[in-house]
């Protein structure tokens, strides 16, 4: 039973970055062949971070564990954007920041 709960926690923490994958693929398609290598490696890094969170979360009280899960999900989202490749032009993070700030690049 405990394994099933932990698996649901991993899936729940990785789903936001999978949704972000689809957004990035749709809006930033200029990745070239690097996407073939980057997406699986990003998924492995995010899953590893989430699994490490499960290992350490059971030692914390509820409030700290909830805060840790929020930080883990935010960290996986930031890493997904930072590690997503872009073949030419500015990086994805730079393009997103410029769009939020209203700058043209």
1-53 residue pLDDT tens: 566 667 787 888 889 988 998 998 888 888 888 888 988 999 999 999 998 98
- pTM, two decimal places: 0.82
Domain of 39, in residue numbers = 2-101
* Whole-angstrom distance, CA of residue 6 vs CA of residue 2: 6
Tokens 């872009």 belong to residue: 86
Domain tally, the chain: 1
How many angstroms from the chain centroid is the CA of residue 33?
20
The mean pLDDT of 75-103, rounded to a whole number, is 86
């Amino acid at each position: 039973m405990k394994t099933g709960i932990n698996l649901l926690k991993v899936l729940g923490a990785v789903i936001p970055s999978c949704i972000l994958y689809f957004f990035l693929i749709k809006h930033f398609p200029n990745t070239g062949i690097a996407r073939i290598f980057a997406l699986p490696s990003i998924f492995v890094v995010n899953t590893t971070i989430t699994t490490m969170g499960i290992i350490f979360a059971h030692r914390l009280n509820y409030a700290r564990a909830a805060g840790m899960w929020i930080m883990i999900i935010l960290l996986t989202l930031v890493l997904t954007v930072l590690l997503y490749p872009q073949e030419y032009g500015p990086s994805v993070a730079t393009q997103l920041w410029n769009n939020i700030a209203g700058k043209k690049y």
